[in-house]
């Protein structure tokens, strides 16, 4: 096994003080007061959130909670890769790697790690236990940056190395949403049979032949229409990420506004009440991971990296992911799902679950539904 070092988060006080100073100095008086979320992040909510950030929020409390898990770092391909490893109970816990995306972080999974690793402590059966591995993507959070922008396919190769050579697993299940869904896809496509199966709550990949029938054509047309108001950030980060970074690296409020707008528009909220889906503490802790590590810049590289890898196309020849694949369809997902007929040309779908509620950030919004779907799918693999 490769060299693995224990790791603990301990952000220097001077870094926190600089963040809080920049928040307190933000020039609200020069901002135009455009109501609601239609034009971007709601200014009334941002002012309320920043007041809470300065007067109530306590990073040290959340830092301690994150440190309640076992953290490690290891070097793979000259990158210092950070990961949580929670060993499962019982005699045969299944190895499970869960990958986050942008603008998320390991914070997304804090509520699901222990129920997956220790199901008997949460009313379940120890026979459903997993060894849970949660890495920070290269360039995100507590992982070091790649030398150049890496896309999801190259990150999948790093994660397969982590699971097999570093941690010594013969096989594993890959799970993910957002970029984690793309990374898990490439694990199943490039790294079977070590990656034995994939569970995903997003469909990011595309088939070279495009839609085949009227239902698929309707989906494709509607998908393009839905994505029009969401494409701005994606195009910027996929083409000129460095330019954006100059502003963001100097503005904690800017980073928060850029990220929180996505949490509002991509989640299953009641109206536009972001806190019907996410608490202030959850939102701020996720933002703080970007700020205390100065990784907003390198985290955005993954969009550029995917462009260099060929975009959303899985295989020019029309090959698919042949390992068993479970699709968990949350109704308010940012990327609306194609009909099952389309998905089955890209994946070997063996489980298809249409969820009653939830959006893009499934592990935060509906952790119970996600956990149960992963467990049920895994029973078919054990």
Tell me the three state secondary structure of residue 322.
Answer: strand
Answer yes or no: are the C-beta atoms of 179 and 100 closer than 8 Å: yes
User: What is the C-alpha separation between 83 and 145, in angstroms, rounded?
Assistant: 14
227's enclosing H/E stretch is: helix 214-227
Known catalytic membership, residue 360 = yes
Q: Is the peptide bond before 271 cis (omega within 30 degrees of 0)?
A: no
Q: 277: closest CA among 343, 168, 363, 210?
A: 363
Strands 4-7 and 71-76: antiparallel
Provide the angle, in degrees to the nearest 10, between the axes of the packed helices 280-293 and 13-24. 120
Answer yes or no: are the C-beta atoms of 154 and 309 closer than 8 Å: yes
Q: Quick one: tokens of 85?
A: 């490893």
Tell me the three state secondary structure of residue 258.
Answer: helix
Q: Quick one: tokens of 331?
A: 């109704």
247's enclosing H/E stretch is: helix 241-248
Provide the angle, in degrees to the nearest 10, between the axes of the packed helices 280-293 and 252-265. 130
Q: Which of 118, 347, 360, 373 is catalytic?
A: 360
Q: Which of 178, 191, 278, 373 is catalytic?
A: 178
Partner residues linked to 82 by β-bridges? 73
Q: Which of 303, 304, 342, 347 is catalytic?
A: 303
Q: Quick one: tokens of 260?
A: 């929180």
Known catalytic membership, residue 45 = no
**How many degrees, rounded to 5, is the angle at CA 170 between CA 168 and CA 175?**
95
Active site residues: 178, 303, 360
């Amino acid at each position: 096994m490769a060299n693995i070092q224990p790791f603990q988060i301990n952000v220097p006080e001077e870094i926190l003080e600089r963040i809080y100073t920049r928040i307190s100095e933000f020039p609200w008086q020069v901002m135009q007061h455009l109501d609601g979320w239609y034009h971007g992040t709601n200014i009334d909510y941002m002012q309320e959130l920043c007041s809470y950030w300065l007067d109530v929020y306590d990073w040290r409390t959340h830092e301690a909670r994150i440190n309640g898990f076992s953290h490690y770092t290891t070097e793979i391909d000259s990158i210092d890769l950070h990961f949580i490893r929670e060993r499962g109970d019982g005699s045969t816990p299944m190895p499970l790697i869960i990958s986050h995306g942008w603008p998320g972080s390991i914070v997304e999974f804090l509520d699901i790690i222990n129920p997956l690793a220790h199901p008997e402590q949460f009313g379940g059966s120890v026979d459903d236990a997993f060894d849970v591995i949660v890495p920070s993507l290269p360039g995100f959070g507590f992982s070091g940056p790649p030398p150049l922008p890496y896309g999801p396919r190259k990150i999948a190769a790093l994660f397969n190395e982590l699971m097999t050579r570093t941690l010594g697993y013969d096989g594993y299940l890959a799970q993910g949403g957002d970029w984690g869904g793309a990374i898990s896809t490439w694990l199943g496509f490039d790294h079977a049979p070590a990656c034995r199966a994939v569970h995903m709550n997003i469909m990011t990949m595309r088939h070279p032949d495009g839609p085949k029938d009227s239902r698929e054509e309707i989906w494709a047309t509607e998908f393009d229409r839905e994505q029009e108001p969401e494409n701005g950030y994606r195009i910027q980060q996929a083409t000129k990420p460095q330019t954006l970074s100059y502003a963001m690296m100097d503005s904690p409020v800017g980073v928060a506004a850029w990220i929180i707008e996505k949490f509002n528009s991509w989640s299953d909220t009641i109206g536009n009440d972001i806190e019907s889906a996410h608490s202030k503490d959850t939102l701020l802790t996720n933002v703080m991971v970007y700020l205390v590590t100065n990784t907003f810049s390198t985290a955005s590289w993954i969009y550029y990296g995917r462009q260099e890898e060929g975009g959303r196309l899985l295989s020019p020849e029309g090959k698919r992911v042949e390992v068993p694949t479970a699709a968990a369809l949350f109704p308010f997902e940012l990327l609306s799902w194609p009909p099952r007929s389309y998905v089955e040309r890209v994946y070997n779908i063996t489980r298809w679950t249409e969820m009653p509620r939830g959006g893009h950030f499934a592990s935060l919004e509906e952790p119970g539904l996600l956990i149960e779907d992963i467990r049920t799918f895994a029973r078919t693999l054990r």
